[in-house]
């Protein structure tokens, strides 16, 4: 096989599409399922309000980001299954990731945000901003289908009352708010609201997959990849080892059944291997391969520079005269930008419970100096991350630069019932893992791994821990930049 791609998220899809278009045959390996067959209820994915086996990767109990509501734990028992959302637990942090053909695009909120150009030097200091903002960000946004909500509809629909309340309160405290692009099909959402099509974002779909309106990679890059006729995709196959062999690399993988057991072990040989297993997946593989002697010449940077994009969540309790509405779309559209003054960019997020909660809910992306490191533990045979929960304090402080001010202005308080009992901050998790194989350190300035010609990294692990906004547009744009250089130079 000329090229093998480990993982089918953003980085993997960009690599596979551009290689195939350049005439290279590609084999994509994906540990998760294909997500192309409806379940007994006629739907491929479950909703947030009724999670079932399809919702979680090999867990027997849900692990919802909002673990409690009004003081009660809301997690429930489910059958163990190769479901779509992995809540992967490390010491000090749970890292949420998508599992399946399409990677994180299957589960994410679809917010397609290009960082402001003046922040770019702090995100990827060795990449030329001109080429990113002139060529690769526009290319990524076009391919992903990023677009904005119709402002008129935003102002009038009940489904975005929660966002209008969030905007009003941000403005009253003097914060700049921005509409953020998403990859949701807004025409479809308006039809959902009109009742003429099956509901998706308006039926609580998010986190565990969207059945209709979200343009995940299943609707963008993947159909184009299939149309080339040059790409084979193997779902439910997990790569465990990559080793040099004559003419390339031997890739070992386990075939899984839907309860997560290994049913077969296979090997293929590829001239080039692209690591696109996501920040966590790629980091775990690289530290293992270096430490166990499969790829001993990888440099000492592998596993390093891992960050959580400063994710922290919180809720605020509004007054009775500021209801956020019982009907809330799951797709956020607004951000509060306090990056320069307070180091925080906060999304006004929905809390789609179906009842009036008087709560405003936010996911903040914050500036934080803390970076973790993956290492291989030979005794347990597992990769570990040295994250500490206390490292989230800088993120909490940054988020407080927005919400303390809003609370003071509005005379309101934080909710304490969403993340546990009397717990204000959702600081136990990230949705945005980044880093572990930093560009121009573990690799050259285009993702070629040092020490091994023909091995590349092409996913979020290249980015040093923060993108200042939601990451997938930057991951896609960087992958477009890198694969163009790799195809022109190496093939």
Binding site for ligand FDA (CB under 6 A): 6-12, 29-32, 96-100, 103-105, 107-111, 207, 238-239, 276-279, 281, 285, 431-432, 459-460, 470-472, 475
Backbone angles phi and psi of 102, in degrees to 5? 120, -10
Taking the least distance from each CB to ligand FDA, the nearer of 285 and 396 is: 285
* Under 8 Å between Cβ of 34 and 235: yes
> Minimum Å distance from CB 430 to ligand FDA?
9
Taking the least distance from each CB to ligand FDA, the nearer of 412 and 470 is: 470
> Minimum Å distance from CB 403 to ligand FDA?
20
3-class SS shares of the chain: helix, strand, coil, % to 5: 30, 25, 45
Taking the least distance from each CB to ligand FDA, the nearer of 173 and 428 is: 428
> Is 432 part of the annotated catalytic residue set?
yes
Taking the least distance from each CB to ligand FDA, the nearer of 29 and 189 is: 29
> Minimum Å distance from CB 234 to ligand FDA?
9
- Round to whole Å and give the CA distance between 13 and 179: 27
* Under 8 Å between Cβ of 371 and 388: no
Alpha helices (H) in 43-194, listed in sequence order: 120-123, 129-131, 137-144, 151-156, 161-172, 186-194
* Nearest-10 Cα torsion for 468, 469, 474, 475: 100
Taking the least distance from each CB to ligand FDA, the nearer of 202 and 437 is: 437
> Minimum Å distance from CB 7 to ligand FDA?
3
- Round to whole Å and give the CA distance between 165 and 358: 10
* Under 8 Å between Cβ of 473 and 316: no
Q: CB neighbours of 175 closer than 8 A, spacing ≥ 6?
A: 336, 337, 338, 402, 405, 406
CA distance readout (Å), 238 to 3, 252, 264: 17, 9, 11
Options 410, 432, 480, 484, the catalytic residue: 432
> Minimum Å distance from CB 463 to ligand FDA?
9
Options 347, 410, 480, 484, the catalytic residue: 347
> Is 347 part of the annotated catalytic residue set?
yes
Enzyme catalytic residues: 347, 432
């Amino acid at each position: 096989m000329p090229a093998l791609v480990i993982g089918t998220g953003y980085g993997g899809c960009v690599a596979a599409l551009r290689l195939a278009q350049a005439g290279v045959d590609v084999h994509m390996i994906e540990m998760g399922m294909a997500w192309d067959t409806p379940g007994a209820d006629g739907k491929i994915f479950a909703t947030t309000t009724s999670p079932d086996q399809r919702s979680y990767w090999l867990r027997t109990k849900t692990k919802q980001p909002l673990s409690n509501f009004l003081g009660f734990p809301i997690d429930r028992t489910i059958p163990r299954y190769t479901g779509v959302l992995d809540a992967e637990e490390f010491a000090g942090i749970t890292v949420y990731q998508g599992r399946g053909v399409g990677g994180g695009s299957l589960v994410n909120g679809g917010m397609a945000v290009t960082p402001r150009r003046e922040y770019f030097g702090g995100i990827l200091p060795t990449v030329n901003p001109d080429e990113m903002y002139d060529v690769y960000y526009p290319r990524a946004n076009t391919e992903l289908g990023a677009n904005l909500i119709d402002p008129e509809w935003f102002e009038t629909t009940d489904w975005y009352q929660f966002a209008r309340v969030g905007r009003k309160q941000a403005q009253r405290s003097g914060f700049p708010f921005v509409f953020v692009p998403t990859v949701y099909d807004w025409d479809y959402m308006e039809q959902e609201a009109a009742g003429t099509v099956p509901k998706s974002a308006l039926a609580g779909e998010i986190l565990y997959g969207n059945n209709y309106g979200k343009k995940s990679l299943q609707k963008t890059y993947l159909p184009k990849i299939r149309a080339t006729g040059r790409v084979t995709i193997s779902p439910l196959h997990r790569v465990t080892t990559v080793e040099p062999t004559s003419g390339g690399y031997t890739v070992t993988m386990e075939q899984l059944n839907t309860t997560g057991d290994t049913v077969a072990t296979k090997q293929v040989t590829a001239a080039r291997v692209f690591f696109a297993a996501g920040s966590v997946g790629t980091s775990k593989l690289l530290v293992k391969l270096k430490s166990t002697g499969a790829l001993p010449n990888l440099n000492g940077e592998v596993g390093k520079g891992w960050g959580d994009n400063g994710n922290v969540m919180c809720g605020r309790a509004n007054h009775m005269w500021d209801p956020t509405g019982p009907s809330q779309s799951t797709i956020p559209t607004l951000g509060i930008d306090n990056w320069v003054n307070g180091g925080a960019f906060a999304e006004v997020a929905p809390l789609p419970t179906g009842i009036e909660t008087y709560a405003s809910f936010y996911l903040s992306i914050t500036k934080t100096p803390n970076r973790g490191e993956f290492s291989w533990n030979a005794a347990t045979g597992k990769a570990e991350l040295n994250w500490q929960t206390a490292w989230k304090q800088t993120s909490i402080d940054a988020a407080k630069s927005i919400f303390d001010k809003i609370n003071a202005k509005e005379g309101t308080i934080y909710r304490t019932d969403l993340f546990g009992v009397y717990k204000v901050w959702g600081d136990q998790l990230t949705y945005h893992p980044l880093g572990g194989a930093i560009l121009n350190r573990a690799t050259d300035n285009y993702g070629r791994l040092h020490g091994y010609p023909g091995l590349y990294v092409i996913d979020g692990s290249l980015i040093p821990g923060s993108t200042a906004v939601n990451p997938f547009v930057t991951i896609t744009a960087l992958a477009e930049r890198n694969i163009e250089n790799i195809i022109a130079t190496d093939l």
